[in-house]
């Protein structure tokens, strides 16, 4: 009898969890463990369009908390000159902005937002900068940014804020957005994801008339900055730390550029 009661209880709990996950009914369970299970399952079931909307909300949050170079600013003018002709990648519309900060960084989000830090721009030629931007476009094209945002949501305090209205995201509080931003900033791509983004960037450089050596040179520059220390390494560490095995990746890109040059001569 006890075993039957336990089995019926387990079935009832499973049914409640199933209903809450499938219907996205915004009801909080009194048991924290059960609620955590519901939250995880909801997050895992996120549709791509929901993740894209979340990315758009995240980038609005990030833009509001950074000094964005305005129109007419030399950094903004340089980035616009280099990127104005690139409207989309894999049907995802692109938008570009500069954060005025000495940090050496660039990142992309699933909604096609690409943000470039002025510290990176200061240390890269135009072709090298476009190699980095092409790399970030590769993460969008390959859906790496989509996966990173999904994972950030799954592990952040924002988890569990899906509403019943078509699965749309409920409004995120400042603390939830802060938690999401922290998790996304700490996202790491796998070695294969980095290689595929490098390969996309190489093709992007070749197709658009940039120096095909620029991807390897940009990676060399990041590697050099890491060795220089850069004032305790704070200025470059964020970008460098999210791109593992930089020296190996640079060598790989140099090899591709040399092979491409030889093919052109043959």
Known catalytic residues are: 136
Query: In the block, which residue shows the tokens 């970030």?
Result: 136
- Helix 32-44 / helix 2-23 crossing angle, nearest 10 deg: 40
3-state secondary structure 168-215: CECCCCHHHHHHHHHHHHCCCCCHHHHHHHHHHHHHHHHHCCCCCCHH
Query: In the block, which residue shows the tokens 């519901």?
Result: 38
Query: In the block, which residue shows the tokens 């833009």?
Result: 63
The β-bridge relationship of strands 95-99 and 88-89 is unpaired
The tokens describing 133, both together, are: 């931007």
By CB atoms closer than 10 A (0-12, 13-18, 19+), residue 98 is buried
Bridge partners (DSSP) listed for residue 93: 88
Cβ atoms within 10 Å of 87's Cβ, excluding its own: 10
């Amino acid at each position: 009898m006890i075993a039957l009661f336990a089995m019926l209880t387990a079935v009832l709990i499973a049914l409640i969890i199933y209903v809450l996950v499938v219907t996205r009914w915004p009801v909080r369970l009194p048991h924290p463990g059960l609620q955590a299970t519901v939250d995880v399952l909801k997050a895992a079931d996120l549709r791509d369009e929901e993740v894209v909307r979340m990315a758009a909300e995240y980038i609005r949050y990030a833009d509001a908390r950074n000094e964005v170079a305005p129109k007419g600013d030399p950094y903004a003018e340089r980035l616009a000159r280099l990127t104005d002709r690139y409207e989309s990648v894999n049907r995802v519309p692109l938008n570009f902005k500069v954060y005025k900060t000495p940090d050496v960084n660039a990142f992309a989000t699933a909604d096609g937002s690409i943000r470039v830090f002025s510290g990176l721009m200061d240390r890269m030629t135009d072709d090298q900068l476009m190699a980095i931007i092409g790399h970030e476009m590769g993460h969008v094209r390959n859906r790496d940014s989509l996966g990173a945002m999904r994972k950030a949501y799954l592990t952040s305090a924002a988890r569990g804020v899906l509403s019943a209205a078509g699965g749309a995201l409920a409004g995120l509080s400042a603390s939830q957005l802060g938690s999401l931003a922290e998790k996304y900033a700490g996202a790491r791509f796998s070695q294969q994801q980095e290689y595929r983004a490098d390969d996309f960037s190489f093709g992007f450089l070749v197709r658009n008339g940039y120096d095909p050596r620029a991807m390897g040179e940009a990676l060399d520059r990041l590697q050099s900055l890491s060795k220089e220390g850069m004032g305790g390494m704070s200025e470059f560490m964020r970008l460098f730390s999210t791109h593992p095995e930089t020296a190996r990746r640079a060598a790989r890109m140099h090899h591709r550029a040399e092979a491409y040059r030889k093919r052109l001569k043959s």
